[in-house]
């Protein structure tokens, strides 16, 4: 059973349907992912659906992912960052996104730059310049209530990006760790809930997640300190409806 299954059941009952017409009207989509694997866990179905329709969703990764395993004698942060970049390219290829439509900002994992700092401003400017080439209409980023510093930073960056780009974007949030929050339906407040039926992409999403070998397997000899996607989190890829939130 996936994490937050009860919350998902309650939230999905109030969801408005995000259909093919809506996906097309909000394309091109720009997706901000804090780490390599969040794109599949949080919004892999929408990425796959838009790609299948030929709409070229773009994905930007904020961090280099190098902090997920810190105790391995053979995996340096540099090696891990390179592996995670390759895994992201493989996963997005499964979902239908080519390398030309992927951006890596390479923030240090688990140490996002403060808002307003030179590195933060540089990332925002780079995203604005990248977006100028395809003029997105829809922006997807982590829910602002996600309890992780990189996810919180991604939500802030998305808000700043949405205020900067013209014309204004439709901004939607996706959940990863947020599904574990206690009494999530109440925490969502008056947000509009959108749901994308996605049984037809379940296999693709599982295949995409499996590409993230450093996060889903025993590839790295770091059992004591390393991170591995819990089974209940990986099960998000099997849900028949992907949920997105439109802030009130």
- Cβ within 8 Å of residue 64, ≥6 positions away: 77, 81, 84, 85, 104, 106, 107, 108, 109
HSE-CB for 208 with a 13 A CA cutoff: 30
pLDDT tens column, 89-146: 999 999 999 999 999 999 999 999 999 999 999 999 999 999 999 999 999 999 999 9
The count of other CB atoms within 10 Å of the CB of residue 94 is 21
pLDDT interval class at 73 (50, 70, 90): confident
pLDDT tens column, 29-47: 999 999 999 999 999 999 9
Average predicted confidence (pLDDT) for the chain: 96
Q: What is the mean pLDDT of residues 83-88?
A: 98
Structure tokens at 233: 């989190």
Buried b (16+ CB within 10 A) or exposed e, 168-184: ebebbbbbbbbbbbeeb
Q: What is the mean pLDDT of residues 81-89?
A: 98
pLDDT tens column, 166-222: 988 999 999 999 999 999 999 999 999 999 999 999 999 999 999 999 999 989 977
Q: Over 60: is that where the pLDDT of 223 sits?
A: no
For the question of whether the overall pTM of this predicted structure is more than 0.85, the answer is yes
Are 46 and 95 a contacting pair, CB within 8 Å?
no
CATH architecture under which domain 5-246 falls = 3-Layer(aba) Sandwich (3.40)
pLDDT interval class at 79 (50, 70, 90): very high
- Cβ within 8 Å of residue 150, ≥6 positions away: 34, 35, 62, 63, 107, 109, 110, 112
For the chain, what's the residue count?
A: 248
Alpha carbons 81 and 67: distance in angstroms, whole number = 9
């Amino acid at each position: 059973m996936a994490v937050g299954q009860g919350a998902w059941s309650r939230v999905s009952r109030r969801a408005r349907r995000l259909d093919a017409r809506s996906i097309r009207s909000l394309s091109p989509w720009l997706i901000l992912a804090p780490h390599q694997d969040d794109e599949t866990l949080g919004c892999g179905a929408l990425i796959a659906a838009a790609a299948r329709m030929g709409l070229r969703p773009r994905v930007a990764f904020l961090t280099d992912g190098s902090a997920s395993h810190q105790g391995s004698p053979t995996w340096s942060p540099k090696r891990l960052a390179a592996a995670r970049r390759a895994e992201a390219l493989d996963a997005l290829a499964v979902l239908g996104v080519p390398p030309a439509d992927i951006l890596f900002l390479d923030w240090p994992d688990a140490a996002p730059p403060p808002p307003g700092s030179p590195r933060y401003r540089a990332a925002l400017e780079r995203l604005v310049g990248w977006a100028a080439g395809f003029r997105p209409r829809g922006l997807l980023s982590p829910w602002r209530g996600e309890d992780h510093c990189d996810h919180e930073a991604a939500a802030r960056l998305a808000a700043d990006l949405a205020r900067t780009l013209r014309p204004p974007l439709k901004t939607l949030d996706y959940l990863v760790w947020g599904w574990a929050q206690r009494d999530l339906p109440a925490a969502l407040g008056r947000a509009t809930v959108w749901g994308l039926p996605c049984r037809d992409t379940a296999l693709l999403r599982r295949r995409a997640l499996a590409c993230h070998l450093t996060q889903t397997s025993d590839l790295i000899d770091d059992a004591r300190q390393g991170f591995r996607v819990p089974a209940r989190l990986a099960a998000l890829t099997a849900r028949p409806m992907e949920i997105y939130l439109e802030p009130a």
